[in-house]
């Protein structure tokens, strides 16, 4: 009897011992989770989208490929964070605003992997290319809720204020399934892009449908064609019935992306972080990495009238010849890149395998290296950064790492 009591007591002690169970990560160390308070219906849709994004693994039987880059959304965005060189995308075939001249040879994206029995795609001769590091997914809903008018108000194509920073929008041919909202503006049938390295996706549905097709070789009702390896034949060779992902899943994933939380800044009261924020403004970084935006009314209540700090202006800027890969999208020039949001920058290593791979192709292995690789419209700020005292530079890096 004593033995039984001893065993039972021991087990109870173990169960009661909360310290033996792993604790939840702190909110500010996480990128996943919903933004604000969603309704129960929205929570259910968010979870459905979460499953579609992070848990749905495509196989050849369910439509993967036949040529592809990754087998799930989550493969490229671990924990909804930035990607890794392993899942870097390669785009090719467009050098100016006249469009992609290699669509008939598999452009705009290279599918560098093939399901068993299928040959992976290769860059066609004569095509220029650029590598794109998958971005973090956080806060996309707020960026998508901004109006075109707000973006155009930030643009300064002629640099009328003389600060050396222009900033232009990317005008994109809308896909057939794009439904303009009240805040979209058209110009000659084109709409303003705001997602992607070149701001080539107009909204998150556009981005998501493209990713299903170009990254995973997954057809949907929005885009029912598999990617084709034209070096092999004009047929995809995929035997999975189309569409390979349901519209309801695509829409749930879009809702998930729209309602993912924003990163929470860390160490906000550290003296270095506070000082670094001032250096950030002083060096002119904020000229492109806009610290604050406020959303107008949105169809999702939690996205309406929100002031947030993404540190991007969503505009294209000439970044100089060192970052000019000779490839572009939409009306952007090859040297122009959309200002990447800096929020979540300090959490990059948590999704990039303990390292950091920054700039559009991950070539910068530290925040310092990324700043020093700025050119073109960023050259002035880069030079200012180089001339900072060691203390100011450390404070700036601390601030950026806190985002």
82 contributes a contact to other proteins by CB under 8 A: no
State which residue, 81 or 243, has the beta carbon closest to other proteins.
81
- Are 385 and 393 in contact by the 8 Å Cβ rule? The answer is yes
Question: What is the DSSP code (8-state) at residue 246?
Answer: -
- How near is the Cβ of 283 to other proteins at its closest, in Å? 31
Q: What are phi and psi of 68, to 5 degrees?
A: -160, 175
Instruction: Please name which of 314, 43, 285 lies closest in space to residue 194, comparing C-alpha atoms.
Output: 314
The maximal CA–CA distance of the chain, rounded, in angstroms, is: 88
- How near is the Cβ of 244 to other proteins at its closest, in Å? 14
57 contributes a contact to other proteins by CB under 8 A: yes
118 contributes a contact to other proteins by CB under 8 A: yes
- Euclidean distance between CA atoms 221 and 244, whole angstroms: 9
- Euclidean distance between CA atoms 316 and 332, whole angstroms: 7
Among 25, 235, 305, 391, binds other proteins (CB under 8 A): 25
23 contributes a contact to other proteins by CB under 8 A: yes
Among 70, 228, 273, 370, binds other proteins (CB under 8 A): 70
Q: What is the CA radius of gyration of the chain?
A: 23
Among 83-91, 166-174, 284-292, 321-329, the segment contacting other proteins (CB under 8 A): 83-91
60 contributes a contact to other proteins by CB under 8 A: yes
- Are 313 and 340 in contact by the 8 Å Cβ rule? The answer is no
- How near is the Cβ of 220 to other proteins at its closest, in Å? 19
Among 3, 5, 153, 239, binds other proteins (CB under 8 A): 3
Give CA separation, 166 vs 148, 152, 154, in Å. Answer: 17, 12, 9
Q: What are phi and psi of 213, to 5 degrees?
A: -75, -55
- How near is the Cβ of 359 to other proteins at its closest, in Å? 15
Binding site for other proteins (CB under 8 A): 1, 3-4, 7, 10-11, 14-15, 20-25, 57, 59-62, 64, 68, 70-72, 75, 78-79, 84-86, 88, 113-120, 350-355
């Amino acid at each position: 009897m004593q033995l039984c009591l001893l065993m039972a007591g021991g087990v109870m002690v173990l169960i009661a011992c909360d310290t033996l169970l792993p604790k939840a990560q702190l909110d500010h160390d996480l990128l996943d989770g919903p933004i604000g308070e969603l309704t129960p219906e929205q929570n259910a849709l968010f979870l459905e989208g979460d499953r579609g994004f992070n848990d749905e693994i495509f196989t050849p039987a369910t439509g993967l490929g036949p040529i592809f880059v990754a087998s799930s959304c989550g493969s490229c965005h671990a924990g909804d964070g930035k990607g890794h060189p392993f899942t870097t995308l390669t785009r090719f075939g467009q050098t100016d605003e006249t469009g992609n001249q290699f669509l008939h040879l598999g452009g705009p994206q290279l599918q560098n992997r093939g399901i068993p029995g299928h040959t992976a795609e290769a860059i066609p001769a004569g095509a220029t290319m650029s590598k794109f590091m998958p971005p973090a997914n956080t806060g996309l809903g707020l960026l998508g809720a901004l109006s075109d008018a707000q973006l155009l108000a930030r643009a300064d194509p002629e640099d009328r204020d003389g600060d050396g920073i222009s900033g232009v929008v990317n005008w994109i041919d809308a896909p057939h399934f794009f439904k303009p909202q009240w805040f979209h503006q058209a110009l000659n049938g084109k709409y303003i892009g705001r997602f992607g390295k070149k701001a080539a996706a107009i909204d998150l549905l556009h981005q998501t449908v493209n990713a299903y097709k170009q990254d995973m070789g997954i057809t949907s009702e929005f885009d029912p064609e598999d990617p084709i390896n034209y070096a092999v034949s004009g047929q995809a060779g995929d035997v999975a019935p189309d569409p390979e992902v349901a519209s309801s899943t695509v829409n749930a994933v879009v809702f998930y992306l729209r309602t993912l939380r924003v990163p929470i800044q860390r160490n906000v009261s550290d003296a270095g972080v506070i000082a670094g924020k001032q250096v950030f403004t002083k060096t002119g970084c904020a000229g492109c990495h806009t610290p604050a935006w406020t959303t107008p009314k949105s169809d999702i209540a939690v996205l309406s009238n929100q002031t947030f700090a993404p540190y991007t202006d969503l505009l294209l800027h000439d970044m100089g010849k060192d970052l000019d890969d000779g490839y572009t999208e939409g009306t952007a020039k090859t040297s122009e890149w959309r200002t990447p949001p800096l929020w979540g920058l300090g959490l990059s290593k948590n999704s990039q395998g303990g390292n950091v791979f920054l700039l559009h192709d991950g070539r910068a292995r530290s925040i310092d290296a990324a700043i020093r690789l700025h050119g073109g419209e960023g050259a002035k700020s880069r030079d200012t950064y180089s001339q900072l005292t060691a203390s100011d530079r450390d404070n700036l890096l601390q601030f950026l790492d806190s985002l």
